[in-house]
C-alpha cells in the first residue's frame, strides 16, 4: 500500500527588529500542526533584539545585519549579503514581522512575490510607522491589521488579508496596539498557511 506523501514544509525566514511576538506565534502554529512550514532562519537588523531569544530557544539559525549608514533601510551591500544568506538557507518565503527597514531592490528582485509583511492598520489607511497612533490621532472608529505582499512602496503591496479591531471609547495608542497585536497573531499564521499551500500545490 502506498501511503500519501507528506508535504515538505515551506522554508521561511522571519525578519524582525523587536521582541518577535509574531515570530513566536508563527512558530507556535508550526508546532501545533496548523502551518505547513519551518522557520529555517531568523534575521534582525538589531543584534540584541528580543527575536534573537526566540531563535536561541528554538535552536533556529540567527543572523544580524546591523546598519549604521541609513536609518530606514539597509545599504545595498548589506541587503545583498542578506539575500545571499537567504539563498544559502534555502528560503522560499520571506516573512517580515516587525522588521523596521524598508525593503529595496536586491531583496525584492531575489524573491518576487515571496515577501510578505504584517501591518497594524487596515491598509491603505495609516501606512508607515506607529499606525495605531495614527488611528487614534485621526479619530478612527475602527482599525485592525493587514497582511500584504511587499513591493517598492511603503505598505503598498497587494493585500492578502485583513482583520478589523474596533477603536473603543477611551482607547489609548497603547491599548489599541495591544488589541491589534492579538488580531495579528490570529491573521498572520492563517494567511501564511494559504501561501504555503499555494507553494506546494502538487505534493
Give the residue numbers marked as catalytic: 119
Cβ burial of 90 (10 Å; 0-12, 13-18, 19+) is exposed
Torsional sign, CA 54, 154, 110, 45 = negative
Torsional sign, CA 32, 179, 146, 43 = negative
As a whole number of angstroms, the distance between CA 142 and CA 175 comes to 13
Cis-peptide, bond into residue 124, ω within 30° of zero: yes
Can you read off the three cell numbers belonging to residue 73? Answer: 533601510
> How many residues in the chain?
203
Can you read off the three cell numbers belonging to residue 146? Answer: 493587514
Q: Which residues contact 71 (CB under 8 A, 6 or more apart)?
A: none
Amino acid at each position: 500500500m502506498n501511503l500519501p506523501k507528506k508535504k515538505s514544509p515551506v522554508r521561511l525566514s522571519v525578519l524582525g527588529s523587536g521582541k518577535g511576538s509574531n515570530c513566536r506565534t508563527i512558530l507556535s502554529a508550526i508546532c501545533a500542526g496548523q502551518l505547513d512550514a519551518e522557520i529555517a532562519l531568523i534575521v534582525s537588523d538589531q543584534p540584541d533584539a528580543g527575536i534573537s531569544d526566540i531563535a536561541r530557544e528554538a535552536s533556529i539559525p540567527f543572523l544580524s545585519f546591523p546598519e549604521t549608514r541609513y536609518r530606514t533601510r539597509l545599504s545595498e551591500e548589506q541587503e545583498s549579503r542578506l539575500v545571499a544568506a537567504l539563498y544559502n538557507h534555502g528560503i522560499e518565503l520571506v516573512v517580515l514581522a516587525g522588521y523596521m527597514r524598508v525593503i529595496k531592490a536586491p531583496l525584492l528582485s531575489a524573491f518576487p512575490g515571496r515577501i510578505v509583511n504584517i501591518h497594524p492598520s487596515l491598509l491603505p489607511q495609516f501606512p508607515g510607522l506607529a499606525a495605531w497612533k495614527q488611528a487614534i490621532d485621526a479619530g478612527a472608529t475602527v482599525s485592525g491589521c493587514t497582511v500584504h505582499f511587499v513591493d517598492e512602496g511603503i505598505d503598498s503591496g497587494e493585500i492578502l488579508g485583513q482583520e478589523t479591531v474596533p477603536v473603543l471609547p477611551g482607547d489609548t495608542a497603547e491599548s489599541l496596539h495591544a488589541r491589534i497585536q492579538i488580531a495579528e497573531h490570529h491573521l498572520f499564521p492563517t494567511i501564511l498557511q494559504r501561501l504555503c499551500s499555494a507553494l506546494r500545490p502538487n505534493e
